[in-house]
Chain A
């Protein structure tokens, strides 16, 4: 099987199917779930999905269920190592406790990015972003 690696198609998600994956969306959301299927647009079906938010050394999770994600909204896909996933240096708290902090982080980042984009546009001639919720 290893000798066939040079002949397998590149850019294929077949090795990721039925594995626990973290998907980062363009709006900054991090979804963790089992990848069940995909297609040529990298539309994904994620089962048993959990949305996770982070702040400082703390994280929180919220169960969301079965997702069909449109491929163009995905930034990246990463495999979760089941052996190591519990050994992270972060502790888990309740979603409703962490949510306000996370919202604040998001608002601060958005403000900072908008300011940066404004300066780059005015002073350096850069174009403004598409504005389609590229919050990651």
Chain B
């Protein structure tokens, strides 16, 4: 998934933002946008030399000043699971709406959807639709 989508998915999660000047901001992500501008809450700000600290309730960071963002490692897996779950929900909704004509048993259709190697790509969806249409003609 795209880097900015990972950031969007990290809302309400704790993270560490380091700016180009070396300052670090530890806080929970409130919101972000396509420019990587972010708002954080419950922030611990540290100066570049790590000699001064501030506690800030909310802050806004302009995306262009960010060097990198460190995010909890569990986030990538959590987001992938969410995406898979959303995809399967979408698939089962689509599969339920299609009328299955002929002697094609429903479990076989499930086979096509679940074990499709195309994943959620458009090509995969179109191919699935072709299979379903062919079954109707049987």
Chain A residues within CB distance 8 Å of chain B: 25, 27, 36-39, 43-45, 47-48, 64-70, 73, 132-133
Contact = CB atoms under 8 A, between A and B. Distances in A.
A45 B21 CA distance: 21
Interface of B: 1-4, 6-7, 20-22, 36, 63, 66-73, 75-76
A76 to B, nearest CB: 15
A133 B75 contact: no
A71 B109 CA distance: 43
Contacts, number: 62
A25 B70 CA distance: 14
Contacts of A38: 3
Contacts of A68: 3, 6-7, 68-71
A68 B1 CA distance: 12
Contacts of B2: 37, 39
Given A133-B21, A133-B22, A66 B3 contact: no
A73 B22 contact: no
Contacts of B67: 25, 27, 69-70, 73, 133
A66 B4 contact: no
A39 B73 CA distance: 20
Contact of B71 (A43, A66, A70): A66
